Structure 1
Amino acid sequence: MLKAFYSSATGMRAQELLIDNTANNLANVNTTGFKKKHINFADLIYDTSKAPGAAAANGQLKPIGLQIGSGVRAVGTTSIFSQGSPQETGIDTHMAIEGDGFFKVTKDDLPAYTRDGSFVTNEQGQIVNSDGYLLDPQVAIPVDATDISISSSGVISYRIAGVSTTGPSIQLARFANPAGLQNLGSNLYAETAASGPETLGIPGTAGFGQLRQRFVEGSNVEVVSELVSLITAQRAYEVNSRAIRAGDEMLSSASDLVR
């Protein structure tokens, strides 16, 4: 009887984590380049009274066994890197990635990666993100440049004093397992052993996504799906609490038998 208490408690904790994750997804529904997270669960160890395939009294093998589980645990969170909807901003240095890849920036002298293409230029004309981190490789646009254009392959061109000039190109980074990247906050990711090393390349080639100037990529959070997940988690939490209440009532009934 007490096993039901602990099993239901793990279920309630799992649903709390699911609600926390869903709330975070909904909170970032308007965050540029945000990728929704999915929680993976696994059942806990089983109390095996009779193993499947054990020998029966008649010499036959038992087709089933007697196993009672101990509840559930959260295994991890998976980032879903599906494409977010493009949102037009009209700003020359804003870029959206259509396909695979990440922008690489330098954060505290270390590489970081992002799908947030809302870049601007600093006082030196260098392209930086909203926190001031430099795009890597560094790209600078002269402050007196006009008619700035960024091609789908990342080539920057502009005009200075009426003369057309082609500037440096923008590169993207890819990973064998992007779900293994570590979330740093501020729309940034860090490379890990699980993600594998970065592969740099030209946008639009070798599986890299193309760039779309004057757009940014919106969040891929689907509000309706998250609300359904929220309702499901709430109902599952209630059912687990009822299982604890039912176990308590059964223990109470058993204790009343001796009175």
Structure 2
Amino acid sequence: MSSALWVSKTGLAAQDKAMATVANNLANVNTNGFKADRAVFEDLFYSVELQPGAQADQVNTVPSGIQLGSGVRLIGTQKVFTEGNIQATGQPMDLAVVGAGFFQVESPSGETLYTESGQLQLNAEGMLVNSQGLPLVPAIEVPTGSKSFTVGSDGIVTAILPGDTLPSELGQITLTNFANPAGLEALGGNLYRETIASGEPTEGVAGEDGLGTIKQGVLEGSNVQVVEAMVSMIAIQRSYEANAKVLDASSSMMQFLNQQV
């Protein structure tokens, strides 16, 4: 096979994956707490036909040599954990982290998962849960008939219980951060799982030790920049077309050679 055919093939495959990444970003432009992905590529190994610095003669050396690349490959998709736009909802159980930090929820298997979506609700037992019904960690129970549900910037939850006139503290929502948030495993449903790459979670009080603060009555929207994504899509399309033209040109060259020899 012609080396140019193989190189252009890797280019087509790489741009297809890059387009899939952009498509996923645009599909989630209205997903609360969604963090955009970016594709990371690297060039493949080189065929060295003449080593740089090789002896050209008894006095001189080759300045650059001959090194032919073999294409490109995807080595990762990286989550970009910049903040999304804060959208006011007026709902008391809608929360957003302003700054670094994740909310914690408990999966049905008892595993702790992490999310930046603070769209909370109450389940049948009065526990604060996320949109999938997973309870918040640490658990917060809001008694039936409570009024004036309030969450402070430090995560302290208060409400006026039935029969009372003054607010009572129901618990405190803590936040978690990681040394490398991009290393978290994305599970879908705005949920992430700890991995070796992310490092161990560091739990703390909102507003302390580098953690962000909690804001009530708002949600953090997707951090996808639509215009930037559209520009990337156009660039990827042009690159895909260029690789396809290289593929076609290389095929034509081989066809010409077969016909003439």
TM-score using structure 1 length: 0.97
1:72 maps to which residue?
72
SS at match of 2:167: strand
Query: d(CA) in 2 for partners of 1:167 and 1:59?
Result: 83
Tell me by how many angstroms 1:252 deviates.
2.3
Query: d(CA) in 2 for partners of 1:249 and 1:196?
Result: 51
Tell me by how many angstroms 1:159 deviates.
1.2
- Aligned-pair Cα RMSD in Å: 1.1
Query: d(CA) in 2 for partners of 1:142 and 1:183?
Result: 33
Query: d(CA) in 2 for partners of 1:152 and 1:163?
Result: 19
Tell me by how many angstroms 1:148 deviates.
1.1
Deviations 1:185-214 (A, max 9, x none): 100000000000111000000100000001
2:114 maps to which residue?
113
Query: d(CA) in 2 for partners of 1:164 and 1:79?
Result: 40
Query: d(CA) in 2 for partners of 1:164 and 1:171?
Result: 20
Query: d(CA) in 1 for partners of 2:132 and 2:169?
Result: 27
SS at match of 2:118: coil
Which letter maps to 1:52?
P
User: How does 1:190-201 map onto structure 2 within 5 Å?
Assistant: 190-201=193-204
1:170 maps to which residue?
173
2:150 maps to which residue?
149
Deviations 1:156-199 (A, max 9, x none): 11112323212211100110000000001100000000000111
Match of 1:183 among 183, 186, 192: 186
* Residue 255 of structure 2 corresponds to residue 213 of structure 1: no
**Unmatched 5+ residue regions in structure 2?**
none
Number of residue pairs the alignment of both structures matches: 258
Query: d(CA) in 2 for partners of 1:21 and 1:128?
Result: 30
Tell me by how many angstroms 1:253 deviates.
2.2
User: How does 1:10-89 map onto structure 2 within 5 Å?
Assistant: 10-89=10-89
Tell me by how many angstroms 1:135 deviates.
0.3
Query: d(CA) in 2 for partners of 1:254 and 1:203?
Result: 69
Query: d(CA) in 1 for partners of 2:252 and 2:79?
Result: 42
Query: d(CA) in 2 for partners of 1:257 and 1:122?
Result: 76
Query: d(CA) in 2 for partners of 1:257 and 1:106?
Result: 69
**Unmatched 5+ residue regions in structure 1?**
none
